[in-house]
Structure 1
Amino acid sequence: MASRILNVGLIGFGLSGRYFHSPFLSTNPGFKIKTVVERSKNEAQEFDPNIGNARSVEELLSDESIDLVFICTPNDTHFPYAMDALENGKHVVIEKPFSATEEEARQLVALAEQKGLILTAYQNRRWDSDFLTIKKLIAEDKLGDIVEYECRYDRFRPVVPTESWKEKSVPVGGNLYNLGPHLIDQALVLFGEPLTVTAEIRSVRPNSEIDDYFDVRLGYADKLVIVKSSLMVYENFLRYNLHGTKGSFIKGGLDPQEETLRKNILPTEKPWGVEPENRWGKLYSEDFTGIIESEAGDYAPFYQNVYDAIVNGAGLAVKPAEIIRTTRVIDLAFQSSREKQVMTY
């Protein structure tokens, strides 16, 4: 049994609130989802009738029994909602993007430190099957020193009439803010801070209102790191290309957890996060050339770490300093693309 149960409030119950956070929070004995902010709907009660409704953020934050708040709302609200939550003494997890700018990120981190509160970003892709597999290969020195790393996260989403803010020219909108934080965070976890940032950010789809393509290049003294995404890639299987002094690793496919969660399957279902064999990558080297079975993905450790940080004083897995460096790279990427220059990190 958990030594303490944390009461959780979710601000928003869209894709992330419903299909990412709620399944893991509801199956971890350390958490109780007490309240969800839905201004007019009651979809949280369809997930669990014991969850309460709040019709405004203010109503949720005024509840002194809420310990931890997850912010799962449109991107431009992340910063003000997080500031309000921290001011009201709540621990906070923010969906990506953490904030619009590095300066906003620093303000949030400073306030959390001042208040003695836990603040982190939802970087669940650190616990993807493919990323765990790559970390293991690098740790085992199967590739030698990495000289080139490329990661793509592509989709095929032609522009269709929609009211979704994700396809509108809105503040803190577009694909770099949407998928960029995942890819950039993974690269920085593997290789640390770069020396330079160079980017091209543009719209490639007919009638697109947003940036739907990015190519961000992180320069290091001994390697080149490329993270790319396009919403106009019909065959989007390719994910990772790693080349090192001992070999190469090529891998496609996405971690299966999201598609599993969307089927209303809870993460207590075993086996969990196991990739189908057709998504396994291939290692090419003098020592061994062949298929590498993927590690099982599992987002549950993220939530357990947040619990342990709040209740037991453990260090955060996704640290504030790591969050700030990701926001810095995004800032520099936009500047690089706008000015057509290589930016010094």
Structure 2
Amino acid sequence: MMNIAMIGFGNAVVNYHLPYLAGREGIKVKTIFRREEDRVGDMEREAYYPDIAFTSDLNAVLSDLDIELIVVATHVDSHFEYARLALEHGKHVLVEKPFASTSGEARRIFELAERKNLIAMANQNRRFDGDFLTLKKVMESGKLGSIVEIQSHYDYFRPAWVKPGFTMLHGLAVHPIDQLISLFGRADRIDYDVRSLAYPGESDDYVDIDFRYGKAKMTVKCSLLVSIEHPKFVVHGDRGSFVKYSSGHQHKNEHGPTVVSFEPEDEANWGTLRYVDDDGNSRTEKVPSEVTDYGILYEQLLAAIRHGTDKPVKDDEVLYVLDILQQGVEVAKQAQT
């Protein structure tokens, strides 16, 4: 059994960690650390998790010999320090995205982990979204032939969220960017169109980034001003095309802990694949959706800790993504229209 402690008790922990670890074999969340000021007036939610100990004593968590892994799920400004403390106390560490404020900070954490013979890893859980897993399944089938274009959308219609500050790249775009990097690695060239439609030079509420791989182009688009849903993925190859809308990934209880469903997605939201087969015939298929399961990342991390297998999210991928995010912010700061 691997005992885990979590630092933080916000949206990420409640909706993207705990529900996917409930009943997971070989993994137990033993303790959650919350700052005392964060618990004031917000103790009721802790009762939803009677098997987890809540504490405001960070030293008690760090010194607990039963805890092997500490999950850092706080604001990015504190990721570096919490990760450093965890490693210094002999704990493996899993850090929410973005892993650090800069690639320089991330590199220091990875170097410390290596010196301590421990694992530090970014929680790029969206690699286990059902829609992305479905995309990978289609690509691996070979039916599309050589990929020439992928469009990846992560959009909302939230005009009230458009405010000064550089948050979209690190908050939303980091997911599809990491997904593409996990598939294709370092790009030959990156073209940035990152700007603000409301606060020119002061925000990054419009993201349109092209990644070039030879003749292929992979595009990540994020916006808070999209009121009609785009497909999550549009993919074109030299033998066919694939379209998939976003997969849902959870059900929230109004009163109580978030509970997720692992039931197959309804056929109405399956992907559509059209391609030319080996006999030259045009075929159209509905592609069943894979199931979103962020607990898979934990299982693979546990295997890396116990058996020395590869980490599911590599250090160089994390560093590369952080550099892309920072370059995008610099482009946004310079954009005046």
Class of the TM-score when normalised by the shorter of the 2 chains: 0.7 to 0.9
Q: Does 1:140 align with 2:141?
A: yes
TM-score for the superposition, normalised by structure 1: 0.85
State the alpha-carbon separation in 1 of the partners of residues 311 and 212 from structure 2.
27
TM-superposition CA deviations, 1:179-205 (whole Å, max 9, x none)? 122101111122121012221222335
Is the Cα–Cα contact under 8 Å of residues 204 and 332 in structure 2 kept in the other structure? no
State the alpha-carbon separation in 1 of the partners of residues 113 and 5 from structure 2.
18
Q: Could you tell me which residue of structure 2 aligns to residue 256 of structure 1?
A: 248
State the alpha-carbon separation in 1 of the partners of residues 312 and 66 from structure 2.
25
Q: Structure 2 regions of 5+ residues with no counterpart?
A: 278-282
- Per-residue deviation at 1:328? 2.4
State the alpha-carbon separation in 1 of the partners of residues 100 and 253 from structure 2.
26
State the alpha-carbon separation in 2 of the partners of residues 323 and 262 from structure 1.
33
Q: Does 1:325 align with 2:320?
A: yes
State the alpha-carbon separation in 2 of the partners of residues 75 and 18 from structure 1.
17
Q: Which amino acid letter does the alignment assign opposite residue 212 of structure 1? A: D
- Per-residue deviation at 1:80? 1.8
TM-superposition CA deviations, 1:300-341 (whole Å, max 9, x none)? 21111111222222221112222222222223333444567x
SS in structure 2 at match of 1:298: coil
- Per-residue deviation at 1:46? 2.2
Is the Cα–Cα contact under 8 Å of residues 249 and 282 in structure 1 kept in the other structure? yes
- Per-residue deviation at 1:56? 4.8
State the alpha-carbon separation in 1 of the partners of residues 324 and 20 from structure 2.
30
SS in structure 2 at match of 1:153: strand
Matches within 5 A, 1:292-311: 292-311=287-306
- Per-residue deviation at 1:153? 0.4
How has the CA–CA distance of structure 1 residues 261 and 314 changed in structure 2, closer, same or farther, with 3 Å as cutoff? farther
Matches within 5 A, 1:179-198: 179-198=172-191
State the alpha-carbon separation in 2 of the partners of residues 217 and 87 from structure 1.
39
SS in structure 1 at match of 2:67: coil
SS in structure 1 at match of 2:3: strand
How has the CA–CA distance of structure 1 residues 157 and 296 changed in structure 2, closer, same or farther, with 3 Å as cutoff? same
Q: 2:12 aligns with which of 7, 16, 28?
A: 16
Is the Cα–Cα contact under 8 Å of residues 6 and 32 in structure 1 kept in the other structure? yes
State the alpha-carbon separation in 1 of the partners of residues 170 and 253 from structure 2.
23
Alignment RMSD (CA, Å): 2.5
Q: Does 1:228 align with 2:194?
A: no
How has the CA–CA distance of structure 1 residues 184 and 210 changed in structure 2, closer, same or farther, with 3 Å as cutoff? same
Identity of aligned residues (%): 36
Q: Could you tell me which residue of structure 2 aligns to residue 343 of structure 1?
A: none
How has the CA–CA distance of structure 1 residues 191 and 57 changed in structure 2, closer, same or farther, with 3 Å as cutoff? same
Q: Which amino acid letter does the alignment assign opposite residue 333 of structure 1? A: G
State the alpha-carbon separation in 1 of the partners of residues 105 and 9 from structure 2.
24
SS in structure 2 at match of 1:238: coil
State the alpha-carbon separation in 2 of the partners of residues 118 and 64 from structure 1.
17
Q: Does 1:239 align with 2:239?
A: no
Is the Cα–Cα contact under 8 Å of residues 20 and 261 in structure 1 kept in the other structure? no
Q: Which amino acid letter does the alignment assign opposite residue 184 of structure 2? A: F
Is the Cα–Cα contact under 8 Å of residues 176 and 214 in structure 1 kept in the other structure? yes
Q: Could you tell me which residue of structure 2 aligns to residue 7 of structure 1?
A: 3
27-36 or 205-214: which moved more?
205-214
Q: 1:283 aligns with which of 260, 273, 277?
A: 273
Q: Could you tell me which residue of structure 2 aligns to residue 63 of structure 1?
A: 64
Is the Cα–Cα contact under 8 Å of residues 42 and 53 in structure 1 kept in the other structure? no
How has the CA–CA distance of structure 1 residues 111 and 44 changed in structure 2, closer, same or farther, with 3 Å as cutoff? farther
TM-superposition CA deviations, 1:226-272 (whole Å, max 9, x none)? 101011111224211111111111222x2222x325675645x6xx1
State the alpha-carbon separation in 1 of the partners of residues 152 and 328 from structure 2.
16
How has the CA–CA distance of structure 1 residues 220 and 11 changed in structure 2, closer, same or farther, with 3 Å as cutoff? same
229-238 or 54-63: which moved more?
54-63
- Per-residue deviation at 1:43? 5.1
- Per-residue deviation at 1:22? 1.3
How has the CA–CA distance of structure 1 residues 44 and 315 changed in structure 2, closer, same or farther, with 3 Å as cutoff? farther
Q: Does 1:34 align with 2:30?
A: yes
SS in structure 1 at match of 2:5: strand
Is the Cα–Cα contact under 8 Å of residues 14 and 258 in structure 2 kept in the other structure? no
Matches within 5 A, 1:114-193: 114-159=115-160, 169=165, 174-193=167-186
Is the Cα–Cα contact under 8 Å of residues 167 and 210 in structure 1 kept in the other structure? yes
